[in-house]
Structure 1
Amino acid sequence: MSTTQPNIIFILADDLGYADLSVYGQNEYDTPHLDKLAGEGVRFTQAYANSAVCSATRFALITGRYQYRLRGGLEEPLAGTGRAHGLPPEHPTLPSLLRDAGYTTALIGKWHLGQLPSFGPLKSGYDRFFGNYGGAIDYFTHKPGVGDALAPDLYEGEVPVERTGYYTQILGDEGAKYIRESTGEKPFFLSLHFTAPHWPWVGPEDEAVSRSLDDLFHYDGGNLKIYAKIVQALDAAVGQVTAALDERGIADNTIVIFTSDNGGERFSKMWPFTGQKTELLEGGLRVPTILRWPARIAPQVQEQVTITMDWLPTLLDAAGAKVDADYPPDGESILPVLTGSRASYPRQLYWRYKANAQRAVRDGNWKYLKINDQEFLFDVVEDVRERANLKDKQPEVFQQLRNQWESWNSWQLPLNDEIYSAGVSPDIQADRYVPEAKKRRPPGTPLS
């Protein structure tokens, strides 16, 4: 492939709220490195996560598809199913497709798409992996829980390793090192997936607190000051990575993307939205998102509606790479909008979440939302806080979106416990994609 292909760095935060960065409205502390990145690139105002929880969004990111197509992508089953589920190694992924197009690939940080020996980054397109396989680890002990008997969840490839230090800092060091050591013979794709600012509530100077925890969930700990330190450490680590690009003189033709896997949790700032992680209100789904590519994309504030699964087709588009025809993405490339060759356009996006029987559709400015037995219709452009329920004033729109969700859902795996005992193999599940992909309404077609 051409040596002019851009390098790509995809930085993923964990449980970062929409307004947790000062460039997005945080006024209790500063995030200067991310603010600078936003000022030099694209700041999105209507970017969504594919899910209101962690691993489900990661399935969408790496496959470019709705996560509900695979058993592992059903809302957070990985936390309770041991080693049974994960990303099938035969499934095409963003790193495997970029590798086929001439890239070297690395994941530094959180995987959370299935455990060894059946699943892992090196089985799904990454040439190198350093990080944790599971969902959350302590920032200092690097263990997935509390107790002397537990081993750290920290690996180089598939081999356990030990490191000393605050995990966010370690990942920043590793990311910067990877950039400095890249040869330039091939473009690189670096996934830098932090665990910050996910609990436990431990800042970079709180090692003593970390080692005295009785519960990794840390329900009785944390406060806004500690949370600020966690986010600022994340910002500093991003600064390390962008500084390494400057040192190498490769920042101009490197795409840097920063976003979060879902909305924030208890100490996050989601203003002006309501809701948080695990909720399909805007606060659980709307995420801060920044992209910088000086060689091709001018600085801008971008109102284009986008979602996590768009990054696979968008980045393949930027790299001159192709999707796998047998696994068509549900996401869409937004590169033409970012370069100015196409105007922004409305989208149709779908979500569901087992807890509280939640479901949602965003179609144009409209959003249909169901929580338990309560149903709503919002104009989320005019009513960002989702307060004015218009279902009775706009009954046709309400019914249409409700029907759209039912139609879309019929092509997803069932969101219940039956799937875990059904014995359906992951490769058979993937076959469900093609009919649904063909019947989707053409991109940009408005509701009315």
Structure 2
Amino acid sequence: MPSYEKSPLSRRAFTGAVGAGAAAAVGLPAAAEAREQPFRAAPRPSGRRPNILFILGDDLGWADLSSYGSPHIKTPNLDRLARQGVRFTDAYAGSATCSPTRFSLYTGRFPGRTEGGLAEPIADRSVGLEPTHPTLASLLRDAGYATALIGKWHAGYLPDYSPTRSGWDEFFGNFGGALEYYSKLGLGGEYDLYEGDAAYKDLRYYTRILTERASEYVRRDHGAKPWLLNLNFTTPHWPWIADGDKEESAEIVRRIKAGEKGALWHRDGGSVEKYTEMVQDLDRSVGEVFKALKKSGQERDTLVFFASDNGGERFSYNWPLSGNKASLQEGGIRVPTIVRWPARIDGGQVSHEPVFTPDWTATLLEIGGARPSPAYLLDGTSLAPYLLKGEELAERELFWRVRGERALRRGDWKYYRGKGGEDQLFDLASDQREQADLAAREPRLLAELKAAWEKTNKGLLPYPAA
């Protein structure tokens, strides 16, 4: 038997075999892991359709939460969410940068199926998410949901592109990929805080504003309608400005107004300590929204999802993964992911199933009772049968493509080609750090996975000339 046929080792089998020892190997607190149980669905009557609170952090690394192994960042609210729900260890973003992942979430499809998804990320007004394209919001709205997006949109600019043109009843937030947290100046020096399609002036710290808006939305009486809230924080994306850092804010604003290109990237600022402060502020902010949800009486019937839009940046803690944002190495695409739904899913569980962003779109559409047209191709697999009925997930392939890099995961095997052009093969069950290249040992498997990647790639749009 060829050696590759005895793998992929089932994640469920791997979990049962090594338990807390595996947690220690990847930097997780063994005591915390010991309290978690391998995921097992607890089938219950379906009841009402849930509200959906879908929260994204921005450039948050895989191990930036204490529940994922950070030794110095304390995230009690998100850790509590994990204890009350399911923590996914092998969950991935749809891409390695901001806007392509958002396209994969909004559409449930590979970013390369749409012109706007080819921008990595969107940086001008030439492309965006076409208003005629079905989205998670438009499909759920058609199924009877109230829909809102609060925070970072990053799927195109006015006048042609906007959440309110793509299925969200309400929008409050920023259109671009980044903004200065107090002045709300974006990458081009433009003011970028909007309510609907109109500029909205508020010069307080941005994370505070988004937290207030989200808390108000979940407390609101929506009548008999369930609701979808996409809450897209910009924290902890650069610039490295925490709540109260007004002098640093003023200096960045001065440089932006002086015409300095790239001032917002803050390449001469930040630190591990400042980044820690920002992540812990994100955790507190999420905790405030959770408190508002609980006080509203809707906690039991609300499905809460938390993840990052891609891997971590300069100051993230990604151990033991290699690579960061913009790379298809594990550190660029594997992200912390937590799901809680008290009415249907037991807490204190961990899942090692490989999943990625388009899966969650398909899952939420099924759970919400939305039925896309048969002609509408979803690239994700609904996880509802797995989460709610305990059905096994069939082995499948997760696909990624960015300029100069490619990756595909099947079971525990990952095919990867970086910018150097070398085809590599890794067994993630034993080598999450992607250091032991098994391409020469497993040429048949390498060829299979490469062919599978190329087959999917042929169905996608080509990148425009650089």
1:123-272 to 2 correspondence within 5 Å?
123-145=165-187, 150-213=189-252, 214=255, 215-272=263-320
Q: CA deviation at 1:84?
A: 1.5
Give secondary structure in 2 for the equivalent of 1:406: helix
Name the aligned partner's letter for residue 100 of structure 2: A
1:294 aligns with 2:342: yes
1-structure distance, mates of 2:129, 2:187: 24
- The answer (yes or no) to whether the contact 2:306–2:339 under 8 Å persists in 1 is yes
Identity of aligned residues (%): 50
In 1, the alpha carbon distance for the partners of 2:292 and 2:113 equals 38
Cα distance in 1, alignment partners of residues 107 and 247 from structure 2? 40
2:98 aligns with: 54
The runs of 5 or more residues in structure 1 that have no matched partner are: 419-448
For 1:312, the equivalent position in structure 2 comes to 361
Deviation at 1:233, TM superposition (A): 1.1
Distance 2:306 2:246 in 1: 27
Contact 1:17 1:283 in 2 (8 A): yes
* Structure 2 residue matching 1:414: 3-state secondary structure: coil
Residue in structure 1 matched with residue 157 of structure 2 by the alignment: 115
1:6 alignment counterpart: 50
Q: Deviations over 1:59-113 (max 9, x none)?
A: 000000001011110142521xx22210010111000011011110000000010
Scaled by the length of structure 2, the TM-score of the pair is 0.86
C-alpha spacing 1:361/1:151, structure 2 compared with 1 (3 Å): closer
> 8 Å contact 2:86–2:340 — kept in the other structure?
yes
Deviation at 1:34, TM superposition (A): 0.6
**Structure 1 residue aligned with 2:136:** 94
Residue number among 327, 330, 336 corresponding to 2:385 in the alignment: 336
- In 2, Cα distance between equivalents of 1:28 and 1:184: 43
> SS state of the match for residue 212, structure 1?
helix
Matched, 1:407 2:455: yes
CA distance in 2, matches of 1:290, 1:115: 30
Contact 1:103 1:186 in 2 (8 A): yes
Corresponding position of 2:445: 397
**Range 116-125 or range 321-330, more displaced:** 321-330
Q: 1:29 to 1:317 in 2, by over 3 A?
A: same
Equivalent-residue separation in structure 1 for 2:143 and 2:454 (angstroms): 37
3-state DSSP of counterpart to 2:201: coil
Which residue in the other structure is 2:81 paired with? 37
Q: How big is the shift at 1:151? A: 3.9
Q: Which residue type is aligned with residue 12 of structure 1? A: L
- Taking the aligned partners of 1:319 and 1:374, their CA distance within structure 2 comes to 43
- The residue matched to 1:376 in structure 2 has which SS? strand
1:415 Cα offset (Å) = 2.0
Q: CA RMSD in A?
A: 1.4
**1:128 CA displacement:** 0.3
Contact 1:169 1:233 in 2 (8 A): no
Structure 2 gap ranges (5+): 1-45, 256-262
Superposed displacement of residue 152, structure 1: 1.9
State the SS of the aligned residue for 1:216: helix
Aligned with 2:66 (options 15, 22, 29) = 22
Say if 1:305 and 1:347, in contact at 8 Å, map to a contact too: no
Deviation at 1:326, TM superposition (A): 2.2
Distance 1:209 1:290 in 2: 33
Distance 2:450 2:350 in 1: 31
Tell me if structure 2 keeps the 8 A contact 1:130–1:154.
yes
Whole-angstrom CA distance in 2 between matches of 1:369 and 1:416: 22
Deviation of the 1:375 alpha carbon:
1.7
| Residues 15 and 262, structure 1, Cα contact 8 Å, conserved in 2 | yes
Q: Partners of 2:391 and 2:410 in 1: how far apart? A: 19
Contact 1:75 1:353 in 2 (8 A): no
Partner of 1:364: 411
Correspondence for 1:71 among 115, 139, 142:
115
SS of the residue corresponding to residue 265 of structure 2 reads coil
> Could you say what secondary structure the match of 1:191 adopts?
strand
Deviation of the 1:246 alpha carbon: 0.7
Cα displacement string for residues 121-153 of structure 1 (whole angstroms, at most 9, x for unaligned residues): 00000000000011100111111048xxx4420
**1:281 and 2:281 correspond:** no
Q: Deviations over 1:273-309 (max 9, x none)?
A: 1110011100001000001000001121011111001
Provide runs of 4+ in structure 1 moved above 3 Å. none
On the 8 A contact 2:61/2:316 being kept in 1, the answer is yes
Counterpart-to-counterpart distance in 1, 2:113 and 2:362? 18
TM superposition shift of 1:323: 2.2
Give the superposition deviation at 1:340: 4.3
Secondary structure of the 1:116 match is coil
How many residues in Structure 1 have an aligned counterpart in Structure 2?
410
Q: Distance in 1 between matches of 2:50 and 2:287?
A: 20
1:3 positional shift: 8.6
Q: Is the 8 A contact 2:398 2:410 kept in 1?
A: yes
Task: Give the 3-state SS of the residue equivalent to 1:78 in structure 2.
Answer: coil
Under a length normalisation based on structure 1, what TM-score does the superposition of the two structures give? 0.89
| CA distance in structure 2 between the aligned counterparts of 1:286 and 1:184, rounded to whole angstroms | 38
Task: Give a deviation string over 1:369-413, Cα, whole Å, max 9, x none.
Answer: 111222210001211111111111111001111111111111111
